[in-house]
Amino acid sequence: MDLVIERIRGMLPTPRGQQGRQGQQTRYLSQNRQTRRDREVRQRRILFIAMGAVTAAVVLLLVGGALREFVLLPRESLASVNGTSITRGDYWKYRRYSLLQQIQQYQFFAAQNPQYQTYVQQLQTQLTTVKTAAVDPTTLGTMVDDQLTVQRLNTLGLAITDADLAQYNTDTFAPVALSSPTATPPVNPTAAAWATQTASAQAVTPTPPGTSGTPGVATPETPLVTPGTPIPSATIPASATPNREEALATSTVGYGTFVKNLQTSTGMTQEDYVRLIARPELAKQRVTTQLTGAIKDVQPQVHAYHILVATKDGADQLYSQVTAGGAVDQQKFQELARTQSTDTSTAPNGGDLGWFPKGIMVEAFENAAFALQPGQVSQPVQTKFGWHVILVTERADDRPLTLTTLSGLKDAAFAKWLDGQRASATITSTAPATPTPAAAPFEAPPGAPPTAVPTVIPTPARTPGASGTPGAVPSTAP
């Protein structure tokens, strides 16, 4: 009944005043609904805009970080050699390669001496932080020298072709020689006999990281292990020596596997390996061969002893003591060397430097030593190492060079040539210069007698260099 009455009431005309009030209420409710809906739309729009801006910022950060990590940083120039840049990307690859070569070497020695395992662990840690660690000046310096060597081959009338590089890589991975070796002078039979005797009497002791090879002169930077060459295994018996075809096949497979593993471990492609490792190494070999072809295996030499101290006054006092009475007391000289000399490598042996020719020691020391006759002592001589008092006990005008000394002369010849190329080159580098120590340690010549005191392996005080001349056992001539 109520429903019927309401319907009938709705069909009747509404009074004028009541119609106005109902219209206002309707409009008011409609406006409220529209205002609330607009506000919600605006809020959603602002939320969407904010979310879009945040998303865009995150994307830009990710893209910018990736762009910097994979494009800008790898292309950043760390050094320049006559206009040719050495990029950070190439440095990362070369640094990893160098560390892996050093790890390989010290793992081999750690099997014989567990103390070397400490070096292995340190190098492995450095391998994981190559990108974040500061640029190693020694590694970058080696890359600069490599680039300079490649650029200046033509000053000696030398060149390297693609065929030369292909042959170099083939020979490196072959179990036997596949090409004719570079002609080298025959080994002096006396020097060879000395080397055999020395090898039989001494055990191989590797050089800890950071030590140099050539005494008194700069040592050319070369990898600790021949590039691409694994630690040698047992020698193949003569009956099992492969023929040329087998050796070539072995080389091809070995090189392919090496390049594949190299890209995984260092990021180097085959082109990178040829450009950064193989070409510079072949260039060094050819320059060294060219420079040292005229070195004679029999040269004038002296057998000398020395006492090294920090001051001239100290050297003057030592000179007075060993020449007191007019005659040189060799026994007293050796005793003073043991107790007073700051050269820890020769002091235990009474300052004995062994036999050496010209071209091994620093110039001032060398000139003083070769000016003496047997039994004479020099006035104090100053070098960058300090003040020396030198005693010569023997001289020879035609003494054969030991194999180690001959190798030292070759290293010195290359270092001298490279120094000359640096002086005339335009080289820039972002790496800080390595500070020169206030008192550089003196290094005995390659033929110096081995110290009688066992050497304790020190803990490296700095990051080991990427390269350095491998330590060789001093050869002592009878």
| Same domain for 394 and 286 | no
Query: Within this chain, do residues 321 and 411 fall inside the same structural domain, yes or no?
Result: no
Establish if 144 belongs to a structural domain. yes
Number of domains observed in the structure of the chain: 3
Domain-embedded: residue 68: yes
pLDDT given for residue 234 in this prediction:
36
Query: Residues 223, 280: one domain?
Result: yes
Cα separation, 306 vs 315, whole angstroms: 11
Is residue 201 domain-resident?
no
pLDDT of residue 47: 82
In a domain, 160, yes or no: yes
pLDDT for the residue 291: 92
pLDDT band at 294 (very low <50, low <70, confident <90, very high): confident
The whole-angstrom separation of Cα 408 and Cα 470 is 12
CB 179, CB 251: distance < 8 Å:
no
Residue-wise pLDDT for 169-201, tens only, equals 999 999 887 776 555 555 566 655 654 555 444
Indicate whether 64 and 94 sit together in one domain. Answer: no
Q: How far is CA 161 from CA 83, 120, 183, in A?
A: 22, 37, 20
Q: Which of 73, 105, 122 is the last residue of a domain?
A: 73
- For residue 190, being part of any structural domain is answered with no
Tell me: pLDDT of 40 over 50: yes
Question: Are residues 385 and 411 part of one domain?
Answer: no
For residue 341, the domain's CATH number is 3.10.50.40
Query: Is residue 284 domain-shared with residue 305, that is, in the same domain?
Result: no
Asked if residue 358 is part of any domain, the answer here is: yes
19 and 160 in a single domain? The answer is no
Report the pLDDT value the prediction gives residue 51, as an integer from 0 to 100.
Answer: 84
Domain boundary among 38, 73, 108: 73
Q: Choose one of 360, 381, 400: the last residue of a domain.
A: 400
With CA atoms as reference, report the closest residue to 224 among 336, 103, 57, 375.
103
Whether residue 205 is predicted with pLDDT greater than 80 in this model: the reply is no
Whether 169 and 310 share a structural domain:
no
Confidence band for 64, pLDDT divided at 50, 70 and 90: low
pLDDT(78) > 70 = yes
Residue of 256, 214, 231, 204 whose CA lies nearest to 101: 231
d(CA 102, CA 124): 10
pLDDT tens string 127-174 = 999 999 999 999 999 999 999 999 999 999 999 999 999 999 999 999
Claim to verify: residue 288 and residue 422 sit in the same structural domain: yes
Task: Average the pLDDT over 341-349 and give the result.
Answer: 94
Token digits of residue 36: 């609330």
Mean pLDDT of 8-23: 56
Evaluate whether residue 476 is within a structural domain: no
Question: Is residue 279 over pLDDT 60?
Answer: yes
Least confidently predicted of 206-220, 264-278, 342-356, 426-440: 206-220
CA distance 281 to 469: 13
Q: Name the band, by pLDDT with cuts 50, 70 and 90, for residue 33.
A: low
Locate all alpha helices (DSSP H) within 174-294, ordered by sequence. 189-201, 244-266, 270-273, 279-292
* Residue 385 lies inside a defined structural domain of this protein: yes
Both 41 and 114 in one domain: the answer is no
Q: Which domain holds residue 46?
A: 14-73
d(CA 452, CA 338): 12
| Same domain (yes/no): 135, 256 | yes
- Please tell me whether residues 110 and 150 are part of one structural domain: yes
171: enclosing H helix or E strand:
helix 162-173
Q: What is the CA radius of gyration of the chain?
A: 38
Residue 105 has pLDDT above 50, yes or no: yes
